[in-house]
Chains A and B, each alone.
Chain A
Amino acid sequence: MSKKLFENNLSTVMVLLTILTMVGSTPVFARTEIQNKGSDTLVNVAQAWAEEYGKRHADVAVAVSGGGSGTGIASMINGTVDIANSSRKMKKKEMSLAKKKGQDPLEHIVGYDALAVYTHSDNPTLSMSISQLASIYGRNDTLKSWGDLGLKIPGCQSDEIVVVSRQNNSGTYAYFKKAVLGKGKYRMGTLDMHGSKDVVDLVENTPCAIGYSGLAYATEHVKLVCIRNGNDDSCVNPSVKTASDKTYPIARPLFMYTNGQPTGQIKRYLDWILSDEGQCILSRKGYAPIKKISCSE
């Protein structure tokens, strides 16, 4: 009896769905769908943009997904997205591969992000220099324990530094490597997390850990390390302001790539993102805008 009921409901749902699809696909209500994919750092703000834009323009739907900058760029090369988000520049190799496949990726800077270094809330570290970070993350890793830094972390019996990194297609991974290790490479045995939030979550629960992620992923349960450029410089805290005025040493531009000069709906969407309105949304999410803006609130 209940099975019968379920089947009846199911068929009703199917009929409704069919009607809805038919209504949705009639030319009067034609909606342009913009495929937007990539950077995990950008995914939150990209979603906020898509939502706000959808409210203003009923004829455009922006479908946003994350997965990492590498995912976005790979999709751009394979020609399956309209806009690829990336927290790193496209590599020369990727550019030539895209050209070979008939794509012509064009770069747009849509904001700036402070790359914050996170530690556990019980970690007494206040500041670190870029060269200290390099000794922790680099292949000639000379700093292996918190004791080497002269620190004792409560709750971290083994004293070993648990180094948290990102999967190797991440733009954050690539930028951190360039900014901190220069020409060097990462050491072995880093824990490679699959998302910006996973890094912060792991650091939050692991007293021995250190990790890096976009500032927008900061929570009150983790500490942000103040970064010194040289060993003797005074340290700068990561914030929207220090990322804007470029005083924070590891801030990076955030990119959107389109296939050639954008036209039509994609151009209108991109222009809106770069307008005061779009940039205010970005700044509210914890990223630095590309220009001086005045936002309501």
Chain B
Amino acid sequence: MDAVEVHRHSFQRNRDWYIDQFVQHLVFLAGISAIVLIIGIFFFITKEGMAFLFGDVSMSEVFGSMFWEPSDEDAPDYGILALIAGTASVSGLAMIVAIPFSLGAAIFIAEFSSGTTREWLKVLIELLAAIPSVVWGFIGLSILNPLIIDLFDVPVGLNVLNAGLILGLMAAPIMTSIAEDALKAVPDRYREAAEAMGATRWQITFRVVLPAAKNGLLGAVLLGVGRGFGETMAVLMATGHSVNIPGSVFDSVRALTATIAAELGETARGSEHYGALFAIGIFLFVITFVINLSADLIVRGVKES
């Protein structure tokens, strides 16, 4: 009787134990899937781009030449200098547009608004962040393009200005919510202490809260820059797709991401052109990784202190 009891007991424990193990492994797999995927993607991109990186084309040509003409039969050009200039100019202008907007919005939401106004603003900003990038590209193509032509009397409205404005508006909502988090992370006792010493609201915001949150705000800006470098569709549609070192904001350019998007589907696998596009992919991956990592480290540093 006793033995049977024990046997049944241990059987039940066994079954539970298996389920337990199974679920444990499942959760573990789910947990590391993100890491496995990211490493897998990195290996895939590197594998496809390696042949080009260590191939016949020298890296000094790739990073030193402005000419991108990879489909030439006799002497293809793989210079990505103009593409880097395109991406940098568009992202740069986007930051000039987005930083005042997003920091202003974050300061207003975190420090000056309250109650329903704050909730409404936060919801609207989330909504703004949810607009797909192809819709932004469409706005650039069909609204900003004729507007820029009319306002500035330039022949073509698909240029750095157009893409920079679009990208700035796209990056602003994300930067706003991260900047707002950073401002929120400043302990209330700072504000209370300042208030006790007779500081006005402006003085509290600019002399106490902003300096205390400056790392978090920098992280927000860096994440915005990372977004700018990685954005593809809107940039493809609004830049004019022209390999060019821009002399003014009215020049058309072409971004690194847009080049991959426009050309990758149309190259033969394993060709030199295909490898060159993957090499651009590696370059982009490294840049955005470094930007996002440093942004993350900066933001994390704030939370810990």
B-contacting residues of A (Cβ < 8 Å)? 67-68, 70-71, 73-74, 77-78, 91-94, 97-98, 139, 156-158, 160, 162, 167-169, 173-174, 177, 183, 185-186, 188-194, 202, 206-209
Contacts and interface: CB of A to CB of B under 8 A. Distances in A.
Interface residues of B, number: 34
A67 B73 contact: no
A104 to B, nearest CB: 15
27 contacts: A68-B266, A70-B266, A74-B269, A78-B269, A92-B73, A93-B271, A139-B67, A156-B155, A157-B153, A158-B153, A167-B262, A168-B68, A168-B69, A169-B263, A174-B71, A177-B72, A183-B74, A185-B67, A186-B69, A188-B243, A189-B244, A190-B243, A191-B240, A191-B242, A192-B242, A192-B243, A206-B156
Contacts of A97: 268, 270-271
Contacts, number: 92
B66 A188 contact: yes
A102 B268 CA distance: 14
B268 A189 contact: no
Interface centre among B241, B242, B244, B262 (most CB of A within 10 A): B242
For A68, A169, A208, the residue with the greatest tally of chain B CB atoms inside 10 Å of its CB is: A169
Q: Which 7 A-B pairs rank lowest in CB-CB distance, beginning with the nearest?
A: A208-B155, A189-B244, A169-B266, A168-B71, A77-B268, A71-B266, A74-B268
Q: Which of B77, B241, B242, B266 has the largest count of A CB atoms less than 10 A from its CB?
A: B266
Contacts of A183: 74
Contact of A188 (B244, B262, B270): B244
Interface string B247-271: 0000110100000001101111111
Interface string B71-110: 1111001000010000000000000000000000000000
Contacts of A174: 71, 73
B64 to A, nearest CB: 15
B149 to A, nearest CB: 8
A162 B154 CA distance: 10
B302 interface: no
A167 B243 contact: no
Contacts of B243: 188-190, 192
A71 B269 CA distance: 11
Nearest to B243: A188
A188 B241 contact: no
A67 B242 contact: no
A174 B265 CA distance: 18
Given A158-B155, A168-B69, A168-B71, A191 B241 contact: yes
Interface in B148-188: 153-156, 158
Given A168-B71, A188-B82, A189-B251, A194 B262 contact: yes
B42 to A, nearest CB: 24
B72 A191 contact: no
Contacts of B262: 167, 194
Nearest to B244: A189
Given A74-B268, A162-B155, A192-B243, A93 B252 contact: no
Nearest to A159: B155
Interface string B122-135: 00000000000000
A177 B267 CA distance: 19
A74 B267 contact: yes
Contacts of A71: 265-266
Contacts of A206: 155-156
B245 interface: yes
A192 B254 contact: yes
B154 A158 contact: yes
A157 B265 CA distance: 38
B89 to A, nearest CB: 13
Nearest to A98: B268
